Amino acid sequence: MEFCDECGAMMKAEGDTWRCSAGHEKPRTDGDGAWTREEQADDEGPVDLSEVDPADMNPTTSVVCPSCGHDRAHYTMKQIRSADESETRFFVCTECEHRWREDDH
């Protein structure tokens, strides 16, 4: 994503140029991360995740498992109480798959 130096508007990639809605332009450089519509059309399609364990898709964090003492666990966060309360963190140990939760008090 690129923003215009003149007006601050978001710029769109058009060939070798960035262009904002006000008409300002600047050259694109290699490796700036922008895709054109043509490059997106060449995408290989959806990624097959059917053989991936859903637990392996969650992020991991450094936390000590209360069951085996391992120092890594997958986690998810969910809002299970009222909106003015913090989220509850649910952990699954990457070693023994023990599950536990952590609430802020």
Considering the domain architecture, whether residues 27 and 58 belong to the same structural domain is answered as no
Nearest to 23, CA basis, from 34, 33, 9: 9
Considering the domain architecture, whether residues 34 and 72 belong to the same structural domain is answered as no
Q: Average pLDDT in the 59-80 region?
A: 91
Burial of residue 63 (number of CB atoms within 10 Å: 0-12, 13-18, 19+)? middle
| Number of domains into which the chain is organized | 2
Asked if the structure places residue 49 within a domain, the reply is no
Tell me phi and psi for residue 83, to 5 degrees: -60, -25
Q: Which residues, in sequence order, are bridge partners of residue 42? A: none
Asked if the structure places residue 14 within a domain, the reply is yes
Considering the domain architecture, whether residues 59 and 96 belong to the same structural domain is answered as yes
Q: What is the pTM of this model?
A: 0.47
Q: Is the pLDDT of residue 43 over 80?
A: no
Query: HEC profile for the chain?
Result: CEECCCCCCEEEEECCEEECCCCCEEECCCCCCCCCHHHHHCCCCCCCCCCCCHHHHCCEECCCCCCCCCCCEEEEEECCCCCCCCCEEEEEECCCCCEEEECCC
Considering the domain architecture, whether residues 61 and 96 belong to the same structural domain is answered as yes
Mean pLDDT of the chain: 81
Asked if the structure places residue 18 within a domain, the reply is yes
- Residue-level pLDDT at 69: 94
Considering the domain architecture, whether residues 66 and 87 belong to the same structural domain is answered as yes
Asked if the structure places residue 67 within a domain, the reply is yes
Could you list the residue range(s) of the whole structural domain that residue 20 is in? 2-41
78 contacts 90 by C-beta, under 8 angstroms? yes
